[in-house]
Amino acid sequence: MTEPVLSVRNLQVEFITRRSVLRAIDGVSFDIAKGEVLGVVGESGAGKSVTGLAVIGLIDPPGRIAGGEIYLSGVRIDNLPQEEMRRLRGKRIGMIFQDPLTSLNPLYRIGDQLIETIRTHLNLSESAARKRAIDLLAEVGIPAPDKRIDAYPHEFSGGMRQRVVIALAICAEPELIIADEPTTALDVSVQAQIITLIKRLGRDHGTAVMLVTHDMGVIAETSARVAVMYSGRIAEIGPVQDVVQHPLHPYAKGLMGAIPTLASDARRLMQIPGSMPRLSAIPTGCAFNPRCEFAFDRCRVERPEPIRQGAQAVACHLYDAAAETAA
């Protein structure tokens, strides 16, 4: 079996505040294989973005990685010194942020930003870097890249800027791209183009993609597997088809039930009662237990570990019990 590009093991991220230590990520584990797109979904504050930032080493104080391990192609990276981590960023891990309107420095031509990034990571001359920059712009679908390279960010539309951001993220051919809500700030029609672009990157270059979003449609469109996060933990992870059509975790069921579809006959969308707990008040046991209609005593005391169910893995005591009775 080949080594996964990204392997996260039991990751814990804490934010130290004046009053207490808040645990934003608590025991998250997942793998992403070469060329695979892993979707990460969940409500705001579930820890999706923080997971991405932890992988690329951009958790700022007062936050810190408190435990667990992160491996990039088999090499541990979460404990690297700052300077080595910096060299890794942009070269082996690329990142795309949510808002293309604010991701680019307004005072520099996009060509200068591309060339600067290329020359930081690759040993190229100014003119070779410029040529590569033009090729990259062409690859991400910017028309007339040899002219547009000298334009400033404000001269591009939102969708075009996100293409430039993607070009910047892939300029050193990274093994892994972390895309943090790359389509949220865009029009629906532009979203589709950007999704196609991200999918193509995975296919053509074998780039692994961690796609953070709260849009199940985007996940279904792009990803092979999906991880559903809740309160800094993975509730369920598995192939997109299985998780969307047969969600196991009560939270995942609620989440899938809340997606409106044109085909469905249901008059009302499903709602999950209550809201996600604040980081300072995560309940003991399963974090979802106060909102869960199936919760029983064990859920309030003992934290569920991921349990394999076919291709899926689910962190819920319901399935542990099912396995026991079946045995």
Partner 1 sequence: MLAFTLRRAIQAIGVMIAVGIISFSMFRFAGDPVNQIVAIDTSAAERAEIRHSLGLDDPFPVQFSRYFINAAQFKFGVSYQFRQPVASLLKERMPATLELATCATILAMVFGILMGVYSALRRDSFLAKVFQAVSLVGISLPTFLIGILLIYLFSVTLGWLPSFGRGEVVHIGWWTTGLLTVSGLKALVMPAITLGLFQMTLIMRLVRAEMLEVLRTDYIRFARARGLTTRAIHFGHALKNTLVPVITVAGLQFGSVIAFAIITETVFQWPGMGLLFVQAVQNVDIPIMAAYLLVVSLIFVTINLIVDILYTVVDPRLRSTISRPA
Query: Which amino acid appears at position 272 of this protein?
Result: I
Q: Give the range of 81-89, 141-149, 221-229, 304-312 binding partner 1 by CB under 8 A.
A: 81-89
Rounded Cα distance, 214 and 43, in Å:
7
**Does the protein bind partner 1 through residue 97 (CB under 8 A)?**
yes
Give 94 or 285: the residue with its C-beta nearer to partner 1: 94
3-state secondary structure of 32: strand
Give 106 or 273: the residue with its C-beta nearer to partner 1: 106
Beta strands in 199-289 (DSSP E): 208-212, 225-230, 233-239
Give 87 or 308: the residue with its C-beta nearer to partner 1: 87
Rounded Cα distance, 80 and 89, in Å:
12
**Does the protein bind partner 1 through residue 120 (CB under 8 A)?**
yes
With CA atoms as reference, report the closest residue to 105 among 97, 116, 113: 113
Q: Is the peptide bond before 260 cis (omega within 30 degrees of 0)?
A: no
CB-based contact 227:39 (threshold 8 Å):
yes
Q: Give the range of 36-44, 66-74, 115-123, 261-269 binding partner 1 by CB under 8 A.
A: 115-123
Instruction: Give the residue, chosen from 166, 168, 228, 314, that forms a contact with partner 1 under the rule CB under 8 A.
Output: 168
Instruction: Give the residue, chosen from 8, 169, 218, 240, that forms a contact with partner 1 under the rule CB under 8 A.
Output: 169
3-state secondary structure of 224: coil
Q: Give the range of 116-124, 225-233, 259-267, 292-300 binding partner 1 by CB under 8 A.
A: 116-124
**Does the protein bind partner 1 through residue 13 (CB under 8 A)?**
no
Alpha carbon distance, N-terminus to C-terminus of the chain:
30
Give 168 or 211: the residue with its C-beta nearer to partner 1: 168
**Does the protein bind partner 1 through residue 64 (CB under 8 A)?**
no
**Does the protein bind partner 1 through residue 164 (CB under 8 A)?**
no
